[in-house]
Amino acid sequence: MEKKEMLYEGKAKKVYKTDESELFIIEYKDDATAFNGEKKGTIVGKGVINNKMSALMFQILEEKGIPTHFVELLSDRESLVKSVKILPLEVIIRNITAGSFSKRYGVEEGIVLPFPTVEFSYKDDDLGDPLMNEYHALALELATKEQIETIKAYAFEINKIMKEFFLERNIKLVDFKLEFGVHKGEVILADEISPDTCRFWDRETNKKLDKDRFRRDLGDVEGAYQEIMKRLNI
C-alpha cells in the first residue's frame, strides 16, 4: 500500500490517503509538544515506539472484541488503518488521581479512585481542548447519544483490559486518553495508545514512565519510552 496525498498533519502524527478510500496510512513522528503546543521538543525514537505499542494494544483490544482502526504495521513508523472521521471528543479514563484532575479538584496525585471515571474534552486546539459534559457534546452535535453510550462502554471495557495487561508488566495504568472515529457508520477506536496518551507509573517505585517526564522536565524521557518498550517486549 502506498502513501498518497497527506490528509492531515498533527503534532505527533501524519495521516495519508491511500489508493483505497477505506484505508489511511499513519506515520508517527518523534516530535513532542505539551500545553497545547506551547512546549516543543523531540523524543528520539518515540515515533517507532508509539507505532509499535499502538499496534500491539489495538491487536489485543480487537481480540477482546473492541473494534479499532488498526489493520497492519507497515514499517517502524507507519501503520495501515481503516479510514475514519474522528469524533472531536477526547475521552479520558482515570483510575488514579493525576494531572489536570488533581489540579482542577485540588487533590494530590496518586489517590486510587474508588471506581474509574470518564470525562470528555472538546478536541479543538484553538480552544485548548476544553472539558465538556455529554449534554454539551450532544447540544453541539459532536456525536449522537448512541455514539456517546457506545464510546463510554468501549472506554470502560478498554480500561479493564489495559489495567490488567499493564499490571502484569509491573505498570500502574493511572489514566489515558482515547479518540474514536466513524468508519462505515460504526464507531471504532482510533488514534493511538502510547506513553504520549497514557500515564504509566512503575508498580513498585511509582516512577513515571510516560510523557509527563517531558511535560514536567523530569529527565530520562527517552529512557522511560524505552523501558515501556522493554516491558511490552516490542
Q: In angstroms, what is the minimal distance from the CB of 101 to ligand TMP?
A: 6
Residue 92 or 143 having the CB closest to ligand TMP: 92
Per-residue burial over 150-189, b if 16 or more Cβ lie within 10 Å, else e, is bbeebbeebbebbbebbeeeebbbbbbbbbbbbbeeebbb
Nearer to ligand TMP, 99 or 116 (CB): 99
Say whether residue 92 binds ligand TMP (CB under 6 A): yes
Q: Provide the minimum distance between the beta carbon of 159 and ligand TMP in the complex, in angstroms, as a whole number.
A: 12
List the one residue from 172, 199, 208, 213 that touches ligand TMP (CB under 6 A): 199
Per-residue binding letters, 167-196, with ligand TMP (x by CB under 6 A): --------xxx-------------------
- Segment interacting with ligand TMP (CB under 6 A) among 22-30, 96-104, 154-162, 224-232: 96-104
Residue 100 interacting with ligand TMP (CB under 6 A): yes
To ligand TMP, the closest distance from the beta carbon of 184 in angstroms equals 26
Q: How many of the chain's residues bind ligand TMP (CB under 6 A)?
A: 11
> Which grid coordinates belong to 234?
516490542
SS3 190: strand
> Which of 42, 99, 207, 229 is close enough to bind ligand TMP by CB under 6 A?
99
CB of 24 or CB of 200, closer to ligand TMP = 200
3-state secondary structure of 11: coil
CB 96 within 8 A of CB 198: no
Closest CA to 22 of 93, 110, 108, 81: 81
Give CA torsion, residues 198, 203, 207, 213, to 10 deg: -10
Q: Which CB sits closer to ligand TMP, 78 or 175? A: 175
Q: Does 101 engage in binding with ligand TMP (CB under 6 A)?
A: yes
Contact predicate 19/1, CB 8 Å: yes
CA distances from 108 to 21, 76, 83, 104 (A): 47, 38, 40, 11
Nearer to ligand TMP by C-beta: 112 or 146? 112
Q: Which region, left, alpha or beta, applies to residue 99 given φ > 0 means left and ψ of -120 to 50 means alpha?
A: left
Residue 132 interacts with ligand TMP (CB under 6 A): yes or no: no
25 lies in the site for ligand TMP, by CB under 6 A: no
Contact between 179 and 158 (Cβ < 8 Å): no
Give the interface with ligand TMP as residue ranges (CB under 6 A).
Answer: 92, 98-101, 175-177, 197-199
